[in-house]
Structure 1
Amino acid sequence: MKLHLFDEVFFYPIMSKQAYLLLIFILSLNFIQAQTKVGGVVNDNSGETVPFANVVFANSTSGTTTNEDGEFYLQSDGNYDTLLISFIGYETKKIPLKASVNLEMNITLEEAASTLDEVVIYRGKTSKKNNPAIDILKKVWENRRSNGVRAFDQYSYKEYEKLEFDINTIDSTLIKSRIFNGMEFIFDYADTNNVTGKTYLPMFINESINKVYGDNLLNEEKEVLLGNKNSGFEQNRNLIDYVKDIYDDYDIYKNYIKFFDKSFVSPVSTTGIDTYNYVLSDSAYVDNKWCYNIVYYPRRENELTFKGDFWVNDTTWAVKNINLETTKDVNINWIKQVYIEQDFDVLNDSVFLITRDFFMADFALNKKKGSRGVYAKRTLLYDEYEFDNKKPASFYQQPVYNPQSQAYNRSEQFWSENRLEELNEDEEGIYVMLDSLTKTKAFNRLYDIATIVQSGYVEFDGWDYGPVYSTFGFNDVEGVRTRFGGRTYFGQNDPWRIEAYGAYGFKDQKFKYGISGKVLLDHKSRLIIGGGNRRDVEQLGTSLTNSTDVLGRSLASSSLLNVGDNDKLSSINLSVFAVELEPLKNFTVRVAANYRELKPASPEFSLDYYVNEERTIIDSEINQTEFSTILTWMPGRKVSGYGVERNIVNEEDFPTLFLNYSLGVKDVFKSDFNYKKLQFFYNQPLLIGGFGRSNASLEAGKTFGAVPLGLLSVVPGNQTYFALYNTFPTLDFYEFVTDSFSAIHLEHNFNGRLFSRIPLLRELNLREMVGFRAVYGDISEESKRIDASGLPLVAPNSDPFYEYSFGIGNILKVMRFDVHFRGNYFDNPDARSMAFTIDFGFHF
């Protein structure tokens, strides 16, 4: 029998740093802590590697298992002289350790003459029938609702979270790199990772303490931040909140474990039986509880799966300990390895509650064994559980304004009293090292470059230049266009902000500009007033649902490559004043007034309309005053900061509902038309377990009253070669024009589920996508009658226009290619039956 525990594996040991070795020796030899490190590979007597073999220090509970290649690394703060290697079917091997560091060991196990009679052993693809491991797993499923906080009506607990980022694979090449000139002292803080055995350099640490309350009857949970402390990035809440959001809370008993926007099949779930092979490996006492050990590994390659083992109690059938490690061929980008370990403890001899959750991701540009990257580690500790303490439903209502500024300024006494795990010497050293590092010019240069890449802005004192990606553009009217702009920025929580830009077209030789400002008047209701003016060239009709954002991105000024002629551009002079507030969390109300002057930007395009009933007088410029009320609800949205502008943390993880009622008023500031306009938009991202990710959106709108072409709802075509959200790639601009419409956009990303079953494609880690789009609309005879533009005003009113598409993503990890097919209306002039689009981006 073996005892396979991990109580000490993830407490990062103290190493003797080169810079302090002499000082420590002089002060006291007692300060030097013993440490044992071992690493290598385990083979059988035929030369085949032995995956999932148990590796422990003799007379200890410090151990690990070999990976799928038979490799292992183990270290402990203790001083051990014997290593035990065991696996069912093989003789246990004792290896004397002649030194405290024994790496690159090559160990051979001999097959045992006999094995335990009571345990059935499986190798390779295991059977789903007559498998004792699966029999145990079924008992886990039957009892999963009787364990954890779900077993109680109400619950609360204290949660301590520690986030850490480290540069890994520290070697002489990196130390001598010119990029670290002026920062050489940081390598004195290098240490060795307990999971991989790599040398790493801690670069960032964030600690937080929360009190969590929940009610299973109300299906509500509330988290109260008690304290937060981090090294080096006190003002960069965007970074901290983004890192925290990467690792969603996961439950091993649910079918899927979600992180990095991917759904991994849980080996403890009912879905796991079709995804994993299970082997009953051992049984032993774990913390005085008799438990069974089950080893699991994937049935197929390239799927979102884990490998590892877990211990199950034989009375409550609850998981006592589990470790999960991604396989090396898993279809996820920029990640070499993810390792998770969870420990559970028993309450009242019946209910198991989680006490420790460790998560580590090894980020790297590629998955080569020696590639350098960054460790992201999260440790969660739980304590002070209380149950069935009912609170009113109003307690769980989330406030709109909750800066909790006092939580970021806690004393050292607070942290010493509330930490559920003391920092070791290495972690304490991060605070010292980062404080010194942020004062070096070399580090600040690197930080500035990273900030520009992430935000698109170059930071100066009190203002930012950018966005740099909009500096150059091209269109048929302006030719080559250059743009320079900036914004005020004193910090993430600025109560006011001003943005402005200037642009010049070398073909039309005209100067354009835009300026806007906004002020946060009340934090609690998020009362904001803002306004601005923009005079520029614009491609109208790139979206069915519109808002009056003064400095919204202009497709006309950013497109470089187009299909066919793109000369239907307009000159716009837009002035806006708006008042916005957030009465409920993630529910905003915006009341705005805007005045627009529209006219064609090129002689080939016309916005002409008849002014009189006799249709004898024509005007080519539209002057329009409009008042609008916009309601937006984004349930589940997470934001960072509490200034006039907040950063959205979980960008694609929440639904959006948008309702806009607009009133056009004639004769106000020489306005030309009376009309009413109603627009509705609903977008819903869907994570469909192991089948990938979908996104669905619905749009509908109607204009009441006769309006000219410039005020109609144009079905958004896409004449570029780049993917544009909620457009129709086989349509040209202005091919369909409506004053009432309804549209649907559906897209699904299989995340490689299909390609992973094709041998020749499996290794490329490609991802398959499908899409469908349709729109139905009409245009009134009154609007047609006043039109004098000369364009054929066609609406998809006989049948809904539709498209479908097929795409391949993750090409070279950054590119997506889609082919789009028109479904009908092939008789339209210059109708395109097919279109191609590409998209670039970094996705896990």
Structure 2
Amino acid sequence: MTRIFVLLMFFPLMCLAQTKAGGVVVDESGSPIAFANVIFKNSSEGTITNDNGRFYIESDATYDALVVSYIGYETTEIPLPQKVNYDLEIVLSEAAEQLQEVIVYTGKQSKKNNPAVEILKKIWAKKRINGLRKFKSYQYDKYEKVEFDLNTIDSALIKSKVFKGLEFIFKDLDTSRITGKTYLPLFLNEVFSKVYGDNRYGIEKEDVLGNKSSGFSGNQAITAFVEDLYSDYDIYDNYLKFFDKSFTSPLSKTGVDVYNYVMSDSMFIDDKWCYHIIYYPRRKNELTFKGDFWVNDTTYAVKKINLEVTKSANINWVKEIYIEQDFEVVNDSVFLLKRDYMLSDFAFSKKEKSRGVYGKRTTVYDNYQFDLEKPKKFYESGSDPYDPRVFERDSVFWQNARLESLNKDEEGIFKLLDTLKTVPKFNTYYNIVSVLGSGYIEIDKWNIDIGDVYSTFGINDAEGIRVRGGARTYFGQNDPWRLEGYMAYGFDDKKFKHGFSAKFLIDRKSRLIISGGNRRDIEQLGLSLTATNDVLGRSIASSSLVSVGANNRLSNINLSTLNVEMEPLPNFRFRIGGSFRTLSSALPEAFSLEYVDPTSPTGISSEIKQFDINTTLVYTPGKRTIGYGVERRDVNEDYSTLVLNYTKGLDGFLESDFEYERLQFSYTQPWQIGGFGRLLSTVEVGKTFGPVPLGLLSVIPGNQTVFSLYNTFPNLDFYEFVTDTYATVHLEHNFNGRIFSRIPWLRKLNLREIVGLRGAWGSLSDENIALSSPTNIPLAAPEDRIYWEYSLGVGNIFRIFRIDFNFRGNYLDNPNARAFGVTGSFGFSF
């Protein structure tokens, strides 16, 4: 998200409309009226004023008047003498009489005896038999276009040094029909597909037939962000998910608890008599909308709906979210989605004049067909969305595929971007943002990236100050193979370290990948219950600048791996490989990995040599990825992850020291709890069969850094608990500000409350304790009672910081036990 956001903020085109109007609606005292209804006379095209009473409305048709209304005020008709009418100030007078057609309510609306609520109840009753759900099977054409634009362009921006030499891009600017702001299109992506579904089996598949991008078409970071940003939604669902947050739908069964509803009007739309209902939130700072919808009087199917996120909603970096949906009347009982439009205004500030980036998605649906039954196998055989032919469709294909024609602005994006790419200054800006986003410096003539620049410096007790530099091959984002490596140097131990990896995609369809590499470095083991097989990784524990307590339990590791991986079924990966590692303490005086070794002259060995065969099954239902090279990019993060891992240690092979087996299983699941936020849960269990020393045991993951790290225990020291049999649970719930939004003096800060609960149980056999008896740290497991911690956190501090207050629940009599600790993190999130 950061890479795209910064990139688009650098660059600022046009939308021709017949009628435009904007201004403010106030009462007789001059106070702004929020949520007033503004429509073009004799039409259903309208909008609602924002929290400050301001509005902007635009139409391709020609109109000569506006009709402005609000509950408790006289409806006012405003003439429009010109095609463009800005800075209107519309004064509404208090109503002397109530309208005869409808009952009018003011302020907080009652949930009882409210005609709008009664209509809402009938929508709930009918929603499961409306639309596609009425048929056994269905199919339709789907055309989607997504565009990004720089907005709020003024003369100061155009004349700024940033755009010196790029003035030509501002040649033809126009205004958004939603906000009235000028904008410059920068990115456009079109996708045409056919969708098939069967309600009996509850299955659906989408065959992508064409995909075309302008601008940064090869940038999968942008494409993945776009796909995650504009995921599909259904307005009839109780909650609509945008930006990883659940907004209460105005059609939700819980809507009466968070919205006020008012029946405003009724009229014919496409020969169907419809009621007009206005809704707005009961409270500020909650994840809600304001807007209106038209609903048919017999089927109670929604004909048209507008949704606009309130400015007070607890969401970062997004100033506006506006949604329009129009439904087609097929017959007296079937209303189908015809057009879906969503606009998002991304900005650092929610102030009216702040600059930002528009993200716009338009989806058009057509050629619906029903009850054309297909065998179940048809749905199991999907098309290849990365087939090169999909990206090479000619102009004739797109002329027929576009269910909505490109306007003049959209057609100009392709030419504009081709021109921009020839301008050195533009390429300089692009390269700077590319480095900030990826962490790599591209050297195109060598097809090499230098980095990761964010790993250049580190500090730990064994190495002191550490510097690191690396590089990777990079021909493109879908490379079938990749080589990557790094070198590092510690100024205290005066030693060089290195890591090298190679990956080769053998078969694209089955995702057959062969990988391997070697790493000789210093590492903090025990940060994860699963032994590291990453030959390039570097944990935050061994390179953090600040730590809690004595962070001196570091290990020397020399690791070599060779793995084969494949994905025989979507989201189901199978990996088998071998690894050979040599482990020893990096600071023997403070931390020992010694164990009893009868074959050693001294009876004790301080170095472990171990060869393992590892088999892993990973299932990630619901995961979406983009790309088809050896490395792919995740699109979403709301999927569950199930991992089954079996490790077999061999004694004697390559001088390996121990024969053992280990079985591990973990299950991670994010839960969207409606309007109550997001819960992340992880359960992990494991057992080691056979005697092994400390370096091969399962360490309950402690955390002596000042960073909040999920799946670790922030009040445990490294190696405080060591097990050969274990079970852990981690629960973390983010309420997304639902509690703080009800506290008046906290409401405006948009803080978010986070609670966590963690537990671990484990045991350690006498045999393993005896084997590691020479070590200079006590070996203990939480066997008598479950070790547990809890935390209370505050997130979204200045929109980037999070602080967690961590409390230890028991084992307070352990040496140097930390009963309380504070950790934190920072980052950009919505």
Q: What is the alpha-carbon distance in structure 2 between the residues aligned to residue 257 and residue 424 of structure 1?
A: 29
Which residue in the other structure is 1:6 paired with?
A: none
Q: 8 Å contact 1:189–1:202 — kept in the other structure?
A: no
TM-score with structure 2 setting the length = 0.96
Pairing 1:262–2:240 present: no
Pairing 1:832–2:815 present: no
**Corresponding residue to 2:801 among 810, 815, 819:** 815
Q: Secondary structure at the match of 1:376?
A: strand
**Corresponding residue to 1:133 among 116, 137, 140:** 116
Which residue in the other structure is 1:612 paired with?
A: 598
Q: Secondary structure at the match of 2:417?
A: helix
With over 3 angstroms needed to count, the CA separation of the structure-2 counterparts of 1:555 and 1:96, relative to structure 1, is closer
Q: 8 Å contact 1:678–1:703 — kept in the other structure?
A: yes
Pairing 1:250–2:233 present: yes
Pairing 1:543–2:505 present: no
Pairing 1:643–2:626 present: no
Q: Secondary structure at the match of 2:653?
A: coil
With over 3 angstroms needed to count, the CA separation of the structure-2 counterparts of 1:14 and 1:721, relative to structure 1, is closer
Give the gaps of 5 or more residues in structure 2.
1-12
**Corresponding residue to 1:514 among 473, 478, 499:** 499
Q: Secondary structure at the match of 1:125?
A: coil
With over 3 angstroms needed to count, the CA separation of the structure-2 counterparts of 1:824 and 1:671, relative to structure 1, is same
Q: Alpha-carbon deviation of 1:398?
A: 6.0
With over 3 angstroms needed to count, the CA separation of the structure-2 counterparts of 1:364 and 1:51, relative to structure 1, is same
Q: What is the alpha-carbon distance in structure 1 between the residues aligned to residue 106 and residue 352 of structure 2?
A: 26
Which residue in the other structure is 2:165 paired with?
A: 182
Q: Alpha-carbon deviation of 1:112?
A: 4.4
Q: Alpha-carbon deviation of 1:615?
A: 11
Q: Secondary structure at the match of 2:277?
A: strand
Paired amino acid for 1:335: V
Q: 8 Å contact 1:747–1:769 — kept in the other structure?
A: yes
With over 3 angstroms needed to count, the CA separation of the structure-2 counterparts of 1:400 and 1:356, relative to structure 1, is closer
**Corresponding residue to 1:741 among 723, 726, 729:** 726
**Corresponding residue to 2:276 among 276, 285, 293:** 293
Paired amino acid for 1:580: E
With over 3 angstroms needed to count, the CA separation of the structure-2 counterparts of 1:13 and 1:58, relative to structure 1, is farther
Q: 8 Å contact 1:481–1:557 — kept in the other structure?
A: no
Aligned Cα root-mean-square deviation (Å): 1.8
Q: Secondary structure at the match of 1:270?
A: coil
With over 3 angstroms needed to count, the CA separation of the structure-2 counterparts of 1:519 and 1:35, relative to structure 1, is same
Q: What is the alpha-carbon distance in structure 1 between the residues aligned to residue 558 and residue 14 of structure 2?
A: 64
Q: 8 Å contact 2:98–2:104 — kept in the other structure?
A: no
Pairing 1:726–2:711 present: yes
Superposed CA deviations along residues 782-820 of structure 1, whole A, max 9, x for unmatched, are 111111112211111111111011000000100110011
Which residue in the other structure is 1:380 paired with?
A: 363
Q: 8 Å contact 1:538–1:555 — kept in the other structure?
A: no
Pairing 1:790–2:776 present: yes
Q: What is the alpha-carbon distance in structure 1 between the residues aligned to residue 333 and residue 382 of structure 2?
A: 37
Q: Alpha-carbon deviation of 1:400?
A: 9.8
Q: 8 Å contact 2:527–2:541 — kept in the other structure?
A: no
Q: What is the alpha-carbon distance in structure 2 between the residues aligned to residue 526 and residue 395 of structure 1?
A: 22
Which residue in the other structure is 1:226 paired with?
A: 209
Pairing 1:155–2:138 present: yes
**Corresponding residue to 1:416 among 393, 399, 402:** 399
Q: Alpha-carbon deviation of 1:665?
A: 0.6
Q: What is the alpha-carbon distance in structure 2 between the residues aligned to residue 197 and residue 430 of structure 1?
A: 20
Q: Alpha-carbon deviation of 1:13?
A: 7.1
Q: Secondary structure at the match of 1:669?
A: helix
With over 3 angstroms needed to count, the CA separation of the structure-2 counterparts of 1:718 and 1:779, relative to structure 1, is same
Question: Which stretch shows the higher mean deviation, 355-364 or 78-87?
Answer: 78-87
Which residue in the other structure is 2:640 paired with?
A: 655
Q: 8 Å contact 1:400–1:525 — kept in the other structure?
A: no
* Percent identity (aligned): 59
Q: 8 Å contact 1:190–1:202 — kept in the other structure?
A: no
Superposed CA deviations along residues 169-196 of structure 1, whole A, max 9, x for unmatched, are 0001111121222221111142201111
Which residue in the other structure is 2:664 paired with?
A: 679
With over 3 angstroms needed to count, the CA separation of the structure-2 counterparts of 1:42 and 1:630, relative to structure 1, is same
Q: What is the alpha-carbon distance in structure 1 between the residues aligned to residue 219 and residue 414 of structure 2?
A: 16
Pairing 1:670–2:658 present: no
Q: What is the alpha-carbon distance in structure 2 between the residues aligned to residue 805 and residue 581 of structure 1?
A: 39
**Corresponding residue to 1:340 among 323, 326, 332:** 323
With over 3 angstroms needed to count, the CA separation of the structure-2 counterparts of 1:92 and 1:607, relative to structure 1, is closer
Which residue in the other structure is 1:756 paired with?
A: 741
Q: 8 Å contact 1:545–1:699 — kept in the other structure?
A: no
Q: What is the alpha-carbon distance in structure 1 between the residues aligned to residue 380 and residue 700 of structure 2?
A: 40
Q: Alpha-carbon deviation of 1:348?
A: 2.1
Q: Alpha-carbon deviation of 1:503?
A: 0.1
Q: Alpha-carbon deviation of 1:571?
A: 0.5
Q: Alpha-carbon deviation of 1:38?
A: 1.8
Q: Alpha-carbon deviation of 1:431?
A: 1.4
Question: Which stretch shows the higher mean deviation, 744-753 or 214-223?
Answer: 214-223
Q: 8 Å contact 2:14–2:182 — kept in the other structure?
A: no
Q: What is the alpha-carbon distance in structure 2 between the residues aligned to residue 398 and residue 729 of structure 1?
A: 47
Give the gaps of 5 or more residues in structure 1.
1-11, 16-33
With over 3 angstroms needed to count, the CA separation of the structure-2 counterparts of 1:203 and 1:402, relative to structure 1, is closer
**Corresponding residue to 2:680 among 689, 695, 698:** 695
Which residue in the other structure is 1:271 paired with?
A: 254
Paired amino acid for 1:843: S
Q: Secondary structure at the match of 2:558?
A: strand
With over 3 angstroms needed to count, the CA separation of the structure-2 counterparts of 1:270 and 1:567, relative to structure 1, is same
TM-score with structure 1 setting the length = 0.94
With over 3 angstroms needed to count, the CA separation of the structure-2 counterparts of 1:795 and 1:789, relative to structure 1, is same
**Corresponding residue to 1:623 among 609, 614, 625:** 609
Pairing 1:235–2:218 present: yes
Which residue in the other structure is 1:5 paired with?
A: none
Which residue in the other structure is 1:488 paired with?
A: 473
Q: Alpha-carbon deviation of 1:217?
A: 1.8
Which residue in the other structure is 1:196 paired with?
A: 179
Q: Alpha-carbon deviation of 1:826?
A: 1.0
Q: Secondary structure at the match of 1:134?
A: helix
With over 3 angstroms needed to count, the CA separation of the structure-2 counterparts of 1:498 and 1:613, relative to structure 1, is closer
Q: What is the alpha-carbon distance in structure 1 between the residues aligned to residue 541 and residue 796 of structure 2?
A: 28
Q: What is the alpha-carbon distance in structure 2 between the residues aligned to residue 727 and residue 131 of structure 1?
A: 51
What does 1:6-405 align with in structure 2 at a 5 Å threshold? Answer: 14-15=15-16, 35-58=18-41, 62-87=45-70, 89-397=72-380, 402-405=385-388
Superposed CA deviations along residues 416-436 of structure 1, whole A, max 9, x for unmatched, are 111111111111111111111
Superposed CA deviations along residues 246-270 of structure 1, whole A, max 9, x for unmatched, are 1221111110011100100011121
Q: 8 Å contact 1:615–1:786 — kept in the other structure?
A: no
Q: What is the alpha-carbon distance in structure 1 between the residues aligned to residue 162 and residue 358 of structure 2?
A: 19
With over 3 angstroms needed to count, the CA separation of the structure-2 counterparts of 1:475 and 1:398, relative to structure 1, is farther
Superposed CA deviations along residues 242-294 of structure 1, whole A, max 9, x for unmatched, are 21221221111110011100100011121101110000100111111111001
Which residue in the other structure is 1:19 paired with?
A: none
With over 3 angstroms needed to count, the CA separation of the structure-2 counterparts of 1:544 and 1:741, relative to structure 1, is same
Q: Alpha-carbon deviation of 1:90?
A: 4.2
With over 3 angstroms needed to count, the CA separation of the structure-2 counterparts of 1:407 and 1:722, relative to structure 1, is same
**Corresponding residue to 1:803 among 789, 796, 800:** 789
Superposed CA deviations along residues 645-675 of structure 1, whole A, max 9, x for unmatched, are 111111x210111111111111111111111
With over 3 angstroms needed to count, the CA separation of the structure-2 counterparts of 1:143 and 1:713, relative to structure 1, is same
With over 3 angstroms needed to count, the CA separation of the structure-2 counterparts of 1:241 and 1:182, relative to structure 1, is same
Q: Alpha-carbon deviation of 1:56?
A: 3.6
Q: 8 Å contact 1:556–1:569 — kept in the other structure?
A: no
With over 3 angstroms needed to count, the CA separation of the structure-2 counterparts of 1:709 and 1:45, relative to structure 1, is same
Q: What is the alpha-carbon distance in structure 2 between the residues aligned to residue 254 and residue 771 of structure 1?
A: 29
Q: 8 Å contact 1:400–1:583 — kept in the other structure?
A: no
Q: What is the alpha-carbon distance in structure 2 between the residues aligned to residue 706 and residue 577 of structure 1?
A: 25
Q: What is the alpha-carbon distance in structure 1 between the residues aligned to residue 784 and residue 140 of structure 2?
A: 60
Q: Secondary structure at the match of 1:414?
A: helix
With over 3 angstroms needed to count, the CA separation of the structure-2 counterparts of 1:209 and 1:401, relative to structure 1, is closer
**Corresponding residue to 1:592 among 553, 577, 581:** 577
